Structure 1
């Protein structure tokens, strides 16, 4: 089956088998190896990417379901050599140990912050519960997500604008 999908801002058209998972399409066909294969059962969240701006566990989605859609991977976050605010917050707060879960954690955190721009600790823990860290780095992950929220507050740049737009949509605004 032929699909056309935009990944990290680049359009790709490929023939894929109907049963090919999105995670394997991204890694094996496009070389986006930052999207990690964890459990293949959608339990760990290591493979989390954004599809049309929302987090999705790419091991639970077929590549054909991404046809005509916009996919963002961890590789697509940095701009002009500068890390995304969530990536920078994870780095600055030492919110990684082995690093295996980090790409999925960051992608989930970005989606969480789009819905909850100023989360308390409980909201972060609840919003991140579908992503597992086997090294138990949760304290630093929570700290990093809350730090990133501050970095992305209104007036802090383009990511802050995305958060403001998403918040307005959720509250019934434009």
Structure 2
């Protein structure tokens, strides 16, 4: 029996978190949500309040000393989603929740992945290298940054006139369109 609990980890604005919750709300799902953030100033907190869902602010120490694992275990989540979460996820959690933790990355992995490759860092590198395409990758989380098994990728062509901001906006549109649908597919497996 599944718990219907979904936990989303985010460090920033939380637009993906809000989009996923709204997607399921519109489908009248009975999922329970918890948003976890390591950033007490993250905009995702305001989004959680607006959505009237629970949230938890934690320290880096709590993430790595077992406190967050204990919290997760108490909820028995169906899925853990990393949506703009900038800390390396603890191996202890990955071991317990293998193939139940997914991440979204703003590039076509394996290119432009790894430590330090997030947000605008990715888009700047792609534009600087004059890549012809970019996209999103949704993948399972494993012990290495951005190297887990790929679940889904969506590619777009890059107009040579794009700035990193232009590319970021196009990638964000892909995230908004596809991330909730892929999460839904994973929940029905």
Question: Shared fold by TM > 0.5?
Answer: no
| TM-score normalized by the length of structure 1 | 0.28
Higher strand share: 2
